[in-house]
Amino acid sequence: MTGNRPAVRPARPFFSSGPCAKRPGWTLQALNDACLGRSHRSKPGKAKLKDAIGRTRSVLGVPKDYRIGIVAGSDTGAVEMALWSLLGPKPIDVLAWESFGEDWVTDCAKQLKLKDTRIIKAAYGELPDLKQTDSARDIVFLWNGTTSGVRVPNGDWIADAREGLTICDATSAAFAMDLPWTKLDVVTFSWQKVLGGEGAHGMLILSPRAVARLESYNPPWPMPKTFRMTKDGKLVEGIFEGETINTPSMLALEDYLDTLKWAETIGGLRGLIARADRNLSVLANWVKRTSWVDFLARDPATRSNTSVCLKIADPWFTALAPDAQAAAASKIASLLEKEGVALDIGGYRAAPPGLRIWCGATVDSSDLESLTPWLDWAFAQVKNG
Ligand SMILES: Cc1ncc(COP(=O)(O)O)c(C=O)c1O
């Protein structure tokens, strides 16, 4: 390891885990056709909202009988809309192995105060024992833990014939991983994540069983207007046809449409997954040959192909006190930011000190190839003071 700067910089230094890199070739001109200064309930406005729902269905392969809605409050809004509307009639298993899972634990146990909530946890880098979940209960979980880089490997642990609902926050998984729709009753994600859209809206996808719950259960707590999906015990179908509950950003919508059209040009979901997998393999090859770094995700089967979280395994680093470790990891990230080679790659604040490098489809593998020598360079700089 030398003090010389590597020769090549990534062409696009955008490796943030959200908002994520824009798609290759994106410019503001992609938004030229936005329906601005018009009502979102106008004919062209509504057509665009409907188009976004249709393209989402086709790219993700969402079954015909699942509803897809555009909702307020990004992924958080979509998840909380589901939790507030559906939970209560059944006991709940909520899984947490990193920070966002902990948020949903807080919602279930502390905010909604659902007494029969069982919390199934694991430490950063690990996945909880999925077999502990009970299909008689509602199950709340993340497909991909964005802050630890640990994902569920598949849906085999979810019973086909289940009594409870499965509520899956898939914001850093959708468009990068296969989601087994028949195992999932609620799926949520945000525009700002894997396709590199703008922060604004969330997507809420409901199975027929989730809709049946909505129509048969009236929660005992007050329901904010932005969460209300039923009227007189019937689903408000318009929400799932582009009639949003409140006003969406038509500019963010145009951008989401642009991301979906790009996804279609690269082979849809298969193309998106292939790009994320290739990106992960660039980092995996580098990790294999680099002694100072390792994946935070212990089991290779659970390693994320989007939010790749890395820990620093060098004995110099592991001998440091926790505060000094955090400072050293953040120095690596800020050094690379200053050099303009990698933006926003510091690990999540609540995660063990390390780095987090986004590998979703909007990132080019050539940029990750260019990045790895810089990671070695920055580590050496910080280690050698
Ligand atoms: C798994 C997960 N859930 C929820 C969120 C919150 O998403 P948003 O800010 O889009 O509401 C994020 C954001 O990174 C996430 O990764």
Output the six-digit token pair for 128: 């909880």
295 forms beta bridges with 310
Nearest C-alpha to atom 16 of ligand 1 is from which residue?
146
Spatial CA neighbour of 276 closest among 160, 175, 208: 175
Q: In the 8-state DSSP scheme, what is residue 227? A: G
Torsion (CA) 205, 208, 210, 212 in degrees, nearest 10: 140
Tokens of 361: 């489809």
Question: Residue 56 is encoded by which pair of tokens?
Answer: 């989402």
Q: What is the pLDDT of residue 2?
A: 52
pLDDT score at 349: 87
In degrees, to the nearest 5, what angle opens at C-alpha 227 toward C-alphas 222 and 233?
A: 75
Are 207 and 228 in contact by the 8 Å Cβ rule? The answer is no
Contacts of 115-118 spanning 24+ positions with Cβ under 8 A: 116/91, 116/92, 117/91, 117/92, 118/91, 118/92, 118/93, 118/94
- Closest listed residue to residue 139, CA positions, set 94, 97, 169: 94
Residues of the chain with pLDDT under 50: 1
The pLDDT score that the predictor gives to residue 3 is 77
Q: Which two tokens stand for residue 246?
A: 């409140």
- What whole-number distance in Å separates Cα of residue 71 and Cα of residue 245? 7
The gap between the terminal CA atoms of the chain, to the nearest Å, is: 14
Q: How far is the CA of 360 from the centre of ligand 1 (A)?
A: 15
Residue showing tokens 């885990």: 17
Whether a cis peptide bond, with omega within 30° of 0, leads into 10 is no
Which of these, 189, 248, 231, 194, lies nearest to 62 by C-alpha position? 189
Among 83, 97, 171, 198, residue to substitute to test ligand 1 (most atoms within 8 Å of Cβ):
171
Distance from residue 5's CA to the centre of ligand 1 (Å) = 35
Per residue in 292-340, pLDDT (tens digit) is 999 999 999 999 999 999 999 999 999 999 999 999 999 999 999 999 9
Quote the pLDDT of residue 264: 98
**Alpha carbons 113 and 117: distance in angstroms, whole number:** 9
Give alpha helix (H) positions in 217-320.
250-265, 268-289, 315-318
User: Which protein residues are within 6 Å of ligand 1, measured from CB?
Assistant: 18, 74-76, 100, 142, 146, 169, 171-172, 190, 192
Q: Which of 234, 240, 178 is nearest to 205 (CA)?
A: 240
Protein residue with least CA distance to atom 7, ligand 1: 75
Q: What is the pLDDT of residue 27?
A: 98
Nearest to 75 by CA among 175, 159, 158: 175
